[in-house]
Structures are given as structure tokens and as C-alpha cells.
Chains A and B, each alone.
Chain A
Amino acid sequence: MKALRIALAQGTLLPDTRLALEAAGLATDALADGGRRLLVPSTDVDYVLARPSDVPTHVAHGAADLGIVGKDVLLETDADVLELVDLGYGHCRFVVAAPTGSVDRSLDEYRHLGSLEVATKYPRVAERHFQGRGMQVEIIKLGGSVELAPQVGLADWIVDLVSTGRTLRENSLSIVEEIATCTARLIANRVSYARDRERIAALAAKLETWAAR
């Protein structure tokens, strides 16, 4: 039988992902050597190491059967995949943040000017959120250092991903509201989930038990 192929988000999730997979009975030693191989054969499964934002694409197209990636990435990429298990780790929040003490002033400006400028690395999440709120905003897409935008007058507010909130505090920003809480998810390609149900459901059940420990 063909080995299941699992796309893993490289970066901060990877250590916990290895713990989860080990707990579900999969060897992950092959991921340990710090090598540059991106397609890593292991016992029973093959791993694909990908940028987090590429993991849903690999899975949606069936290049990987399964993936482990943050809900934040799933919300932003909007890929057509199945979300099977909430793995519980990699906890972070999408928030709207504004310069501390400026929320009333910017809302007053909003009344007069009819629009707010919001800088973010996550334009889809930001757009959907403010549409749901019925607020008109101009989204300014940045590649990084979004916290800088309000300080230099590039935007009124930001939408960003925070885990501890320290970066926000250090840049004199406060949370206006929370958009979503995100954790790592086990995702599956729709066809793989149909055709390889036994193996995938067994793995999902083990990961779920581990996540609920």
C-alpha cells in the first residue's frame, strides 16, 4: 500500500507536531537531522516539509494526503481541505489592535472620514472580519513588521497574529478585539479522506486522544 504523505508546516509548530506524531505511533526521527531534504521518507509515512502557507495548497491538490498546519493559515488561505482534528498546540489569536489609548479617537475619525486604514499580513482574515462588523476599512497588505504601521502613520489599526501579546505592548499597541483563536489542525485532502479512510481515521483518532490528554 502506498505510504500516506503528510505535509508539515516548518517553523514554530514543528517540535510539537513531532510530539503529536510520535504519540500517534509514527516515527519522526527522519525529521530530526536538520537536513535540507524537503521530502522525507519515514516508516509508514512520507513527510513533506513546507512553508506553513503552502501546506493547505499541497493538501487541496492531493500532493499530500494529510497536513498539519495552524488554523490561522487555514483562515487566510481558504483552501478546500477537510479539517479533521484540533491538535490544541500552537495557540495564537487573530486580533485587531490600535495604538494604546487611541481607539476613541480613531472611531471618531471613522465617523468623520468614513473609513479606517488597517495594515495586516492577513488581508483575507481582516477583510472578512470588518465586513462582518459592517465597518468600511482600507486594507493595507504588508509583508512583515505590521506593528510599525500605526506608529509611522501608515495605518490606523492593525490585524495581526499574537501569542503572548508582548510585541504589541512593546510597540504601544492594545487589543481592540479578538477575531479568532487558532491552534494546529490535522487537515486532509477530500479524496484521500474518502479513499484512505481507515488509515486516516485511525491516525485522527489517535491524535484526538493525544490532544485531549
Chain B
Amino acid sequence: MKGALPRGFRDILPTEARELHAIERTLMNAFAQYGYVPLEPPTVEFAESAVTVDERRTVRFLDRDGRLLALRPDVTTAVARVVAQRYRQADATLRLAYFTPIFREEASMHGSEREYDQAGVELVGDPTLRADAEVIALLADALARCGLLAADIDIGHVGFVDGFLADLPAEARAAASAAARSGDLVGTVSLAREAGMTASRISALQRGLRHRSADLAAARGDAPASSLRALETLEALRPLLEAAGAGGAVRFDLGYIPALPYYTGVVFQVTVPGLGFPIATGGRYDSLLAKFGADRAATGFGIAIPHLHQALVAGGWRAPAELPLLVLLPDDRDGVATLRVAAALRGSGIAVAIGDVAEAAGQDIRRARVIDETHLEYEGVVRAVEAVIAVLRSGAPR
């Protein structure tokens, strides 16, 4: 069909595009304030490089060299490659930020898009808890600057559940851990029971999986030593988050287990009321970069921009106001006066379009009729161009 688009791809029309650009500016400015510099990865990677996304979920195709390529399924892969190839010898930390479309294959008829924007940061080379606090605080700050107010940040630690499973035979441990990541908590517990976990450990594990609170004391119970260390790490994180200005919205959620297997420490997700998908997820992944030949600590997060945008719009948010757009209705025969007036207005910082516009895109539109090279009829009154500039700049009501 002519004019149709492949499933899961769509045109982003001007109203939405303006809003997305406003979000992008706000986020990238916030990231820059914490020292994160932009990285722009290529759109296409070799299919085998994708490590964080199930290969069935990458959008793949062959190029003319016969190589299997994939549209970028995430940015973490690109960051890992860039770090391993270009910053292999660097000792100092690397702070990278991005706002870019990513591509995921989705089953048809699931209401899912195959291309959407993701924004995020990666902090490479800092294994400290201070770094974990930094990225969580940055995420909270960046979302607040966008105007997202009702968000909660749930913080967990993959070491908590891993600690319970550590003593199981290797096969059972892998199966129970995979079940936990896929959300099958029934399977995790029953696999652990079959593999010989004691009843008191099982009830401690179940209690932990249901634990979400600012207080971790109740989760200690009969937890194994390495799970207790995970809890101590979270306890130590609390004052750091408070110092970084992100103490308020934080809850510890020991039942939060990310689907991706590469996390190694503190993990977190951001949720809002009334939206069934998290807005952002992230955490520490100290062993991932080693797969690319750079054994460096790393933490970071990704924000699903469609979900953030959806939550903002649901809360009545609109793109921040700019100076109005002045639409000049040309009245002169040859257009000379109109073009001169438009140039003068733009020289004074006023946005001008000539002839009525079909797409307002949510902008504040004002209209004026050109009388001659120095005069406009604006709001029913003939005024000098300078007077109109003054009115528009002052933001006076039309």
C-alpha cells in the first residue's frame, strides 16, 4: 500500500516533535550539569554485537557484504564498544549521555512501537557507591526538571536474591535466577525448594521479594551473608542519596529484579501512578564492559521517552512556552514590504512566518497584517513595527 509505514514505525508530527525536543533539551542540559558529555552512536551495528537485548528482539537485515546487521537496539552496546576501543587506557571516569532512537522487534498486534527515543547516561570507571548515588540523583533531578512530579524511585540490589540462590547447585541456581528475572517468582521459590533450600531460608526469600519500604530491617531475618551485604550496601546508599538531594522519592524494593542479566549491584526503576510500564530503569553493570575487552566498572540508566512523555501529558504538561510566532498576512502586491518587515522582526528576535500556517504545532500564534515597510495592523490597531516588537517581547496578552 502506498503511503503506509512498516508496523511499529510512525511519523512524529510537529506538535509531538516540539514536545519531544523540549524534553530532549531539558534532559541533555541536566546531564551536562553533572558533567555528562554527548555520545552519538551509529544507527546500525553488527547483529552479533548486541549483548543486552535478546537477538529475537533486534531489527536485523543483511547488507551487500553479506553481513548481518541490526538497527541499534540500545546505546549501552555502543558505549561498551567505544570505551573498549577508544578509552581502553583511560583511568579517569567517563561520563556519557545520549538521547537517540532505538529499535526493538516486537510481536505484531501488541500495541508496541519498533522505534522510540531513549535517553540516558553511562558512568564508566567509578566502582564507588558515590557513583551509584550520583546517577540516581541525576535521574531524579532530570525527571523533576521535565516536570514529572509524582515519580517514585525504587532501589534494589541484585545481590540480595543472588545471595539466597548462591548455595544451590549450578543448574538450579541458573534456572531459579532466570525465573526471577522473567518475573516468575513462583518458579524461583519452587526451584529453590526442590534444590534443597531450607524452609526458613525460603520464607526469608519470600519475605524479601515482597519487601518495599524505606526501612530494610524487616528483610534481614534468615538471609545469607552475601544477601546481608547487599542490604548493607543499600543502607550505606541512603545517606549518600540524601546528601545528593534525592532522599525524598526513594524506596528500597528487594522484589525489583531487572529482566536483563548483566546487572551486578544496585538497580533501580522509576514508576508513576497510572502507567503500567516503568519510565526509567538502570543500575550497576560491572562485568558487561569486560565482554568488549575493557574490564571497567559502570553504572547508568535509560529513560523510555514515550513513557515519560505519556506521563507528562497525562499530568497536563505542555511544552514550555517560547516567544510567540508572528504570522504576517501579506497585503502588498510584490511582497517587498512584507519581506522587509519580516527581516526587521527576525532581527529583533521575533519568530515570523509569512502567510497563514496550516500547522500551529502547539505554538502561541499571533497574526498581523502588513500595511507598509514600517507599519503593521496588530490586534485591530495600526502600529509601528517597533511597537509590535515591544508588545510581543513583553508577552502582553493579545
Give the interface of A toward B (CB within 8 A).
2, 60-63, 80-86, 185, 189-195, 197-198, 201, 204-205
Closest to B188 in A: A83
Q: Give Cα A194 to B269, complex, Å.
A: 9
> Is B259 on the interface with A (CB-CB < 8 A)?
yes
Distance in Å: Cβ of A90 to nearest Cβ of chain B: 14
In whole Å, how far is A103's beta carbon from the nearest beta carbon of chain B? 29
Evaluate contact between B276 and A61: CB separation under 8 angstroms: yes
Q: Chain A residues near B259 (CB, 8 Å)? A: 80
Q: A194-B152, A195-B271 are in contact. Are A86 and B278 (CB under 8 A)?
A: no
Q: Say yes or no: is B361 at the interface (Cβ < 8 Å to chain A).
A: no
B152-A83 in contact (CB<8A): no
Residues on the B chain within 8 Å of A61, using CB: 111, 276-277
B184 interface hit (Cβ, 8 Å): yes
Q: A83-B183, A83-B185 are in contact. Are A194 and B275 (CB under 8 A)?
A: no
User: Provided the pairs A80-B259, A191-B278 are in contact, do residues A197 and B253 lie with their beta carbons within 8 angstroms?
Assistant: yes
A-B contact pairs, 26 of them (CB 8 A): A2-B273, A61-B111, A61-B276, A61-B277, A62-B276, A63-B276, A80-B183, A80-B259, A82-B184, A82-B185, A83-B183, A83-B186, A83-B187, A86-B186, A190-B278, A191-B271, A191-B276, A192-B276, A194-B253, A194-B271, A195-B152, A197-B255, A198-B212, A201-B212, A204-B210, A205-B210
Known: A63-B276, A194-B154, A197-B255. A81 touches B183 (CB 8 A): yes
The contact size tier of chain B is: 20 to 34
Shortest Cβ distance from B176 into chain A, in angstroms? 13
**Is B256's CB within 8 Å of the partner chain A?**
yes
Q: Which 4 A-B pairs rank lowest in CB-CB distance, beginning with the nearest?
A: A62-B276, A197-B212, A201-B210, A82-B183
Measured in the bound complex, the distance between the Cα atoms of B318 and A183 in whole Å is: 47
CB neighbours of A190 from chain B (8 A): 183, 276-278
Compute how far the CA of A84 lies from the CA of B274 in the bound complex, rounded to whole angstroms: 21
> Chain A's nearest CB lies how many Å from the CB of B364?
35
Q: How distant is A207 from chain B, measured CB to nearest CB, in Å?
A: 11
Decide: B186 and A85 in contact? CB cutoff 8 A: yes
Contact B273 A195 (CB under 8 A): yes
Contact of B85 with A by CB under 8 A: no
Across the interface, do A86 and B190 meet the contact criterion of CB distance under 8 Å? Answer: yes
Chain B: minimal CB distance from A83 (Å):
5
A185 to B183, CA, bound (A): 12
Which B106-127 residues have a C-beta within 8 angstroms of A? 111
For B185, the chain A residues whose CB sits under 8 A away are 82-84
- The interface residues of chain B lying within 8 Å CB-to-CB of A2 are 273
- B179-193 residues with Cβ-Cβ distance < 8 A to A are 183-187, 190
Q: CB within 8 Å of A: which of B237-258?
A: 253, 255-256
Chain A hits for B111, CB < 8 A: 61
Q: If the complex has contacts A86-B190, A197-B210, A197-B253, are A189 and B276 also in contact, measured as CB distance less than 8 A?
A: yes
Taking CB atoms, residues of chain B closer than 8 Å to A192 are 276
| Complex: A193 Cα to B152 Cα, angstroms | 13
With a cutoff of 8 Å between Cβ atoms, the chain A residues found around residue B273 in the complex are 2, 195
For residues 154 through 201 of chain B, which have their beta carbon under 8 Å from a beta carbon of chain A?
154, 183-187, 190
| Cα(A2)–Cα(B273), bound, Å | 10
CA A192 – CA B184 in complex, angstroms?
A: 16
* A51 nearest CB across to chain B (Å): 15
Do A62 and B210 have beta carbons less than 8 Å apart?
no
| Contact (Cβ within 8 A) B276 A84 | no
With A191-B271, A195-B271 already in contact, the answer to whether A83 and B255 are too (CB < 8 A) is no
Contacts of A205 in B (CB 8 A): 210
Bound Cα distance A13, B273 (Å) = 30
Separation of A189 and B183 alpha carbons in the complex (Å): 10
Give the nearest-CB partner of B269 in chain A: A194
A189-B111 Cα distance, complex, nearest whole Å: 17
A45 CA / B33 CA spacing, docked (Å): 45
Question: How far is it, in angstroms, between the C-alpha of A84 and the C-alpha of B185 when the chains are bound?
Answer: 6
- Give residues 266-306 of B contacting A (CB, 8 Å): 269, 271, 273-278
**Cβ of A122 to closest chain B Cβ, rounded Å:** 16
Chain B residue with Cβ nearest A87: B186
Q: How far is the CA of A80 from the CA of B277 in the complex (A)?
A: 10
Task: Note all chain B residues with C-beta closer than 8 A to A191.
Answer: 271, 275-278
